[in-house]
């Protein structure tokens, strides 16, 4: 107990130096936490994926469509529980800067496959299913634009040219963290029926199929069975797990993600150097004190623990301060960058890594000073001035 009190007092002996070191560690941990959260946000779609969902798309590319007739053939594959066809719509609301994901889906089967998308108001759900132009909107997206149930919304089509009118009939809320609440869904039949009248050649075409399965352990076998049905056809398919499908998009930015990860660790290494310099200065200044402690019977291991405790007191205090700032800062950054990162949450792993980084900085920065204090001779330390 005495050693702990002594370590804490030594840590704050030079208050300005201690405060600046703590602030440096706090800023580094804050930067580390935010950078890691950016990486997590990039992988949010992957993390939200479920093991019991597959995605079937055109084997050539996602930009090529599949016939609607494939739906019932996919549903007939043993192990398949539900199938929902979907198309990326790519509509623009008022201005290009108002970007958000919008899809045409078979809404009933979509809700069956995605239980984490919850419409609590049953009246809203009934109204949505009855209205051909009805839209299902995430609560976060509705809050962003001030939309309410019953509002009329017009999206300007980029893939499917024209102005498309919708009525917001229901709002959904995620039942677990990490699910995007800023998406816009509408009935696939509305898209298809309109295309039959305006662009008949594009009607009856599906961008992809979401497939629910009964046994995640059989996902590979079910995927092969689905693709085997359409082998050597004009539109061959590629079926993969939802996680693999999402990873395909993330991999396009793998170089950027790797750079962000490296920068996050470089920040920690920089503050490690600063903290190590602080501890080295303290050790040199107190060489005489260490010699006196040795003459009083304190062993080398005790002095090493004393210095390590001092370093940990500074680094852990800074880490805790940095972590206290991460959550509000992440919330502010998330609200500012909602177009790029619909899900921007600080994960438990990020908090754990930040604390571990704080402890590592303390221990590593104390390594050399502790070794020096343990090895320096009493006479040599007493002769040292300044």
162-192 residue pLDDT tens: 999 999 999 999 988 778 899 999 999 999 9
- pLDDT, one tens digit per residue, over 227-277 is 999 999 999 999 999 999 988 877 767 777 888 888 888 888 888 887 877
- pLDDT, one tens digit per residue, over 114-170 is 999 999 999 999 999 999 999 999 999 999 999 999 999 999 999 999 999 999 999
- pLDDT, one tens digit per residue, over 38-81 is 888 888 777 778 899 999 999 999 889 999 999 999 999 999 99
Q: Give the residue among 157, 115, 159, 152 at the shortest CA–CA distance from 137.
A: 152
Report whether 61 contacts 237 (CB < 8 A): no
Quote the percentage of the chain above a pLDDT of 90. Answer: 47
For the ranges 175-179, 286-290, 350-354, the one whose mean pLDDT is highest: 350-354
At residue 343 the predicted structure's pLDDT band, cuts being 50, 70 and 90, is confident
Residue 377 reports pLDDT greater than 90 = no
Residues 6+ apart with CB under 8 A from 28: 267, 268, 270, 271, 318, 322, 361
DSSP three-state, residue 314:
helix
Task: State residue 294's pLDDT score.
Answer: 66
Report whether 4 contacts 226 (CB < 8 A): no
Q: Give the residue among 16, 13, 2 at the shortest CA–CA distance from 306.
A: 2
pTM: 0.77
Q: What is the Cα 342 distance to its own chain's centre?
A: 10
Q: What single DSSP character describes residue 104?
A: E
Residues 6+ apart with CB under 8 A from 270: 28
DSSP three-state, residue 266:
helix
Q: What b/e string do you get for 72-96 counting C-beta neighbours within 10 Å, with b at 16 or more? A: eebeebebbebbbbbbebebbbeee
């Amino acid at each position: 107990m005495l050693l702990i009190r002594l370590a804490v007092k030594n840590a704050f002996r030079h208050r300005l130096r201690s405060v600046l070191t703590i602030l440096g560690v706090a800023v580094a941990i804050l930067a580390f936490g935010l950078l890691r959260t950016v990486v997590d946000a990039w992988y949010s779609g992957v993390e939200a994926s479920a093991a019991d969902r597959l995605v079937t798309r055109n084997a050539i590319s996602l930009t090529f469509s599949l016939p609607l007739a494939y739906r019932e053939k996919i549903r007939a594959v043993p192990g398949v529980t539900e199938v929902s066809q979907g198309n990326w719509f790519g509509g623009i609301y008022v201005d290009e800067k108002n970007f958000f994901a919008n899809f045409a889906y078979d809404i009933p089967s979509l809700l069956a496959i995605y239980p984490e998308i919850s419409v609590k108001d049953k009246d809203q759900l009934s109204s949505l299913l009855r209205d051909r132009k009805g839209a299902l909107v995430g609560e976060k997206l509705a809050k962003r634009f001030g939309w309410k149930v019953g509002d009329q919304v017009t999206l300007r089509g980029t893939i499917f040219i024209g102005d498309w009118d919708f009525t917001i009939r229901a709002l959904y809320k995620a039942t677990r963290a990490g699910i995007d609440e800023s998406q816009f869904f509408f009935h696939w039949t509305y898209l298809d029926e309109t295309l039959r009248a305006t662009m008949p050649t594009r009607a009856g075409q599906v961008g992809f199929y979401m497939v629910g399965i009964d046994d995640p352990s059989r996902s590979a076998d079910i995927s092969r069975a689905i693709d085997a049905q359409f082998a050597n056809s004009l539109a061959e398919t590629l079926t993969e797990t939802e996680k693999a499908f999402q990873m395909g998009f993330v991999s396009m930015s793998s170089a950027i993600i790797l750079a962000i990860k490296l920068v996050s660790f470089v920040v920690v290494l920089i503050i490690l150097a600063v903290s190590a310099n602080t501890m080295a200065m303290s050790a040199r200044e107190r060489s005489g004190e260490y010699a006196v402690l040795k003459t009083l019977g304190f062993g080398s291991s005790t002095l090493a623990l004393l210095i390590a405790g001092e370093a940990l007191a500074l680094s852990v205090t800074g880490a805790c301060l940095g972590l206290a700032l991460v959550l509000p800062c992440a919330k502010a950054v998330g609200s500012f960058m909602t177009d790029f990162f619909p899900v921007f949450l600080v994960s438990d792993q990020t908090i754990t890594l930040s604390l571990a980084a704080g402890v590592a900085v303390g221990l590593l920065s104390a390594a050399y000073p502790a070794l020096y204090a343990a090895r320096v001779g009493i006479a040599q330390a007493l002769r040292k001035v300044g």
